[in-house]
Structure 1
């Protein structure tokens, strides 16, 4: 196995957590795989290539795999489900815990200097002030994963577990719109303009899904059909 394959396997073991069913919950692991795909493609964006930025892809991808390790640990220790995970992956010192776990898991597996860099990438990805290229890429990749169809599915999952279902998703979306939450995320959550534009596209897709959920929840399409029948 290559070093990266070993890192990937250790991350998988860390991110798959117990669930309320007989099967373990792999949601964070699948998120990790999405994030890795995000960072790999962000590395190839013309914006970065034209800037001639030096990117340590091994350390970046390794950091990405472990960036939710702290969240996995928190869920296990507090007997919480992954359904509450995706809204708070950067908060409450979780990135620092992720870095600590990466350091512990990778000790003796790869060079110490690489481990230190991986740890720094994880922690700095939560800072708006970082100038470390790898940390900025990881930050954009994580923020991008929160926006769009996947973000809606994650919210739906949380609200279903909380007993609110689609109504809760729609209410929460309206609240975010009213407070300008998404505009703030688009403005402050991305370091690279091309990723920001992609996030805008994903947000538009999410709005389409929300609008369709609203139509079906309130049976507006059925109401329109009924009104047309009366007119006939």
Structure 2
């Protein structure tokens, strides 16, 4: 059943652009969230709880289909996907879609719980475990190198260059945006620790990007001195002999 839903989700979550090309952004995000949620649910911190793995999988796989439905209906330009936080209205659209379109694929109780998990995933006080795990995985995917894709898309949509992306990143670092987000978003210590490691990876990536964009990686290297002699075409960097 998981394989069937995965293949169906791959089709349901594609955004059709005006040029006929399918945008995989939402699908790739939801797929990662579903896989991370499964790992979180299997962790030692959740061992004493009863979790509906089927409802969790459905909720994670389709939690952002509201974006897809709006884009494919023409009420949201495809270039604006994920440029703003998901709204409660979009979560409601997703929850209703799960209930109405997966009937017969999963048991009604599973679909009802999945829909509730999506609706309440942004509620910090929710007691629905599936909603909590969905929120953990969703927030985790937005921290680390994968978020660079969204940052680049945002700059391109606004007609800005990579230099602007670096400026945005520097302001985020100045105000400790990512540290505050990690502190606020995660309930589970293990997921928070993973988010901190992903932030370190993101910082390394951004440092490399800055070095390339600002051309700081140009070093002064000695020109090779050819070895002279009959038939010799080898270059030599060492001292003269």
Query: Shorter-chain TM-score category?
Result: 0.7 to 0.9
Matched, 1:158 2:162: no
What corresponds to 2:44 in structure 1?
Answer: 46
Pick closer, same or farther for the CA change 1:162–1:87 going to 2, 3 Å.
closer
What corresponds to 2:130 in structure 1?
Answer: 134
Measured on the aligned residues, the alpha-carbon RMSD in Å equals 2.3
Say whether the 8 Å CA contact 2:80–2:157 is kept in structure 1: no
Residue of structure 1 aligned with 2:119, choices 114, 117, 123: 123
> SS at 1:127's partner residue?
coil
After TM superposition, the score normalised by the length of structure 2 is 0.83
Deviation, 1:179, is 3.1
Considering Cα pairs closer than 8 Å and 6+ residues apart, tell me whether 1 or 2 has the greater RCO: 1
Matched, 1:179 2:175: yes
Q: Deviations over 1:182-219 (max 9, x none)?
A: 12210111111100110000111111111111122112
> SS at 2:19's partner residue?
coil
Deviation, 1:62, is 0.7
Q: Deviations over 1:109-167 (max 9, x none)?
A: 33222221110011111111112211111101000110111111221133234322311
Distance between the aligned counterparts of 1:146 and 1:86, measured in 2? 10
Deviation, 1:18, is 0.7
- The gaps in structure 1 that reach 5 residues or longer are none
What corresponds to 2:75 in structure 1?
Answer: 78
Distance between the aligned counterparts of 1:189 and 1:22, measured in 2? 37
> SS at 1:115's partner residue?
helix
After TM superposition, the score normalised by the length of structure 1 is 0.86
Say whether the 8 Å CA contact 1:67–1:122 is kept in structure 2: yes
Distance between the aligned counterparts of 1:174 and 1:91, measured in 2? 27
Distance between the aligned counterparts of 1:86 and 1:147, measured in 2? 14
> SS at 1:128's partner residue?
coil
What corresponds to 2:214 in structure 1?
Answer: 218
Distance between the aligned counterparts of 2:201 and 2:105, measured in 1? 42
Deviation, 1:5, is 4.2
Distance between the aligned counterparts of 1:95 and 1:132, measured in 2? 15
Matched, 1:168 2:164: yes
Matches within 5 A, 1:79-118: 79-81=76-78, 83-118=79-114
What corresponds to 1:197 in structure 2?
Answer: 193
Looking at secondary structure, tell me which structure has more helix per residue.
Answer: 1
Distance between the aligned counterparts of 1:172 and 1:89, measured in 2? 17
What corresponds to 1:21 in structure 2?
Answer: 19
Say whether the 8 Å CA contact 1:71–1:89 is kept in structure 2: no
Instruction: Give the length in aligned residue pairs.
Output: 222
- Flag the structure with larger Rg: 2
